Structure 1
Amino acid sequence: MNAKESGGLRERKKIATREALSAAALRLALERGPENVRVDDIAEAAGVSPRTYNNYFSSREQAIVAAVLAERALRIGAALRARPVGEPLAEAVIEALVEQYGADGEPPGDLLTLITSSPGLRAEFVDMAAAIDQPLAAAIAARTGSDDDFATAVLAAAVSAAARVALERWVRPAGDGLLVVPRGSLADILREALAHVAPALRAADPG
C-alpha cells in the first residue's frame, strides 16, 4: 500500500469513527434523554475509548448535533457549487443555504423535539453554523474566480453569522423560557437574515 492509499484509508477510518460516535450519541439521547448520556456511554456504544471520543468531539451535545446535521457544512459548499452558472452570487448563496437548512433540511419532528428540549443541544445546534465558513469560502472563491482569500473568508463568515442568528431565533425559548416552539418556517427566517448580507455578496459578484 502506497502513502496515498494509506492516507486515504486513515481518513476513511476517521470518518467512520466520527459517524459511529455521533450515531451512538443520538441513539442514546433518544433512548435516555440527553441529560442521562455520558461520554463514556457513547464511547462504549461505538466501541472506542473515551480518549478516542475526545479526539472527535468536545461534548456529548456536539456529538448528538453532529448526527442530526450530518456534514451539513460540506453539503452547503457542494450545493453552492452546483447552482446554475448564470445565477447571481447572492441568490446562489441564499438558495444553497435554504436548500440545506430550510424545508426538507429541517430536523425531523422527533429530532427537533430532542434538540429544543435541551438548552445545551439548542446552543450547539446554533453554534454549528460556524462550521460552514471554510467550505462556503472555498465555494465562493470557486464560483467567483477570486484569489482573495481574505475577502472570501469575510463573506463566508458574514453568511454563517446571519445563518447563526436565524437558527437562534428559530429555536429561541418563548415566554417563560421553558417551552421552545420553532417560530415559523426556518427557510423564511434564513431568507430574511441573509437578505442583510446580500449587498456584500452582490458587490463581490464579478458577473
Structure 2
Amino acid sequence: MTASRPPLRERKKQATREAIRVAALRLALERGPDNVRVDDIAEAAGVSPRTYNNYFSSREQAIVAAVTAERASQLAAAITDRPTDVGLADAVIDAVVSQYADPGDHAQGALLMITTSPALRACYVDAVTAIEEPLAQAIIRRCPNADAMTGQVLAASASAAAKVAVRQWLRSSTVPPSMPGFVVPSGSLPDLVRAALTPLGPAFDAAVATAATPQ
C-alpha cells in the first residue's frame, strides 16, 4: 500500500522547516556559528524572522536540526524493517547505534563544527530526545501486544541511554596542540551508544515475554 501524502499545508511547513535547516547549516559552515544571526538565516531561507521563530527557538537549534533531521524517521524504519527473527532488543540497539555511525563527509564536517561550540554541543545532546516518540511507535509496531506505556517507557529509557553516551563522548573532547580552536572528541560514539544501550536488553526481552503471555 502506498502511503498517502501529507496535506498541502503540512508539506509547505515541512518545506519551510527544511529551508531554514539548510540555510542555517550552510551559513554556519561558511562563517562559523558565532558569526551567524537568526536574521541572516531567515533571509537566506526566504522567510521572516517571525516565521523562523515559529520553527526554531535559536540558531543553534536550527543548525543541529540540519544534522539530525532525518534521524527519527530513519530510526523507526530501521526497527520495523528488520526481519522478524531479530529480537526487539537487537533491533532497537542496532537501529539507534546506526544513527551515530559513519555520518558521511558533509555531516562529519558539521559534527566537528558542533564540537567546537558549547551552545551547539548542548543543543546536540538535547536533540537526542527527538527519537523518543517515533521509537515508542516503532517498538509497538514491532511488538503489537505490548501496551502503549511499555513502549513509551522502553523508548524513554533508550533515549536517555543514548543521551548519556553522546554527553560522555562530547565531554571526552580534547584540543589537539597543532589545531588550537578545534575540539576533537575521543573514542567511538557508536561504541559508547551501544555500551549505554546494552544494559537495557533484559528490559526489552521482558517486555516481549510479557506481551506474549496470555492474559
TM-score between both structures, scaled by the size of structure 1: 0.90
Maintained 8 Å contact 2:172/2:186:
no
- Once the two structures are superposed, the pairs formed by residues 53-72 of structure 1 within 5 Å of their partners are 53-72=52-71
Q: Is 143-152 or 110-119 further displaced after alignment?
A: 143-152
| Number of the residue aligned with 2:186 | 183
Residues 96-154 of structure 1 show CA distances to partners (whole Å, capped at 9, x for unaligned) of 11122223479743212210010011111111110011100000001011352111111
Hey, what does 1:87 align to over in structure 2? Answer: 86
Q: Percent identity?
A: 58
CA distance in 2, matches of 1:106, 1:195: 28
1:85 counterpart letter in structure 2:
T
Report the Cα distance in structure 2 between the residues aligned to 1:93 and 1:193, rounded to whole angstroms.
13
The alignment covers a number of residue pairs equal to: 202
| 1:34-76 per-position Cα deviation (integer Å, ceiling 9, x unaligned) | 1111111111111101111111111110100111112211211
Q: Which residue of 2 aligns with 1:128?
A: 127
Unpaired segments of 5 or more residues in structure 1? none
Q: 1:35 to 1:104 in 2, by over 3 A?
A: closer
- Contact preservation (8 Å) 1:173, 1:179: no
Alpha-carbon spacing, 1:43–1:175, altered in 2? closer, same or farther (3 Å): closer
Equivalent positions of 1:5-20 (< 5 A) are 8-20=7-19
- Please give the root-mean-square deviation of Cα atoms over the aligned residues, in Å: 2.1
| Letter in structure 2 aligned against 1:188 | D
**Closer/same/farther in 2, CA of residues 106 and 15 from structure 1, 3 Å limit:** same
Is the aligned partner of 1:32 residue 2:31?
A: yes
Unmatched 5+ stretches in structure 2 = 176-180
Q: Write the distance in 2 (CA, Å) between the matches of 1:23 and 1:30.
A: 11
Q: Which moved more, 1:86-95 or 1:164-173?
A: 164-173
Match of 1:197 in 2: 200
What TM-score, normalized to structure 2? 0.87
Compute the displacement of 1:180 (Å): 3.1
Distance (whole Å) between structure 2 residues aligned to residue 15 and residue 110 of structure 1:
25
Distance in 1, matches of 2:68 and 2:123, equals: 11
Once residues 37 and 126 of structure 1 are traced to their aligned partners in structure 2, the CA distance between those partners, rounded to angstroms, is: 21
Structure-2 residue corresponding to 1:163: 162
Match of 1:149 in 2: 148
Distance 1:35 1:173 in 2: 23
**Are the structure 2 counterparts of residues 106 and 97 from structure 1 closer, same or farther at C-alpha, using a change threshold of 3 Å?**
farther
Does residue 51 of structure 2 align to residue 48 of structure 1? no
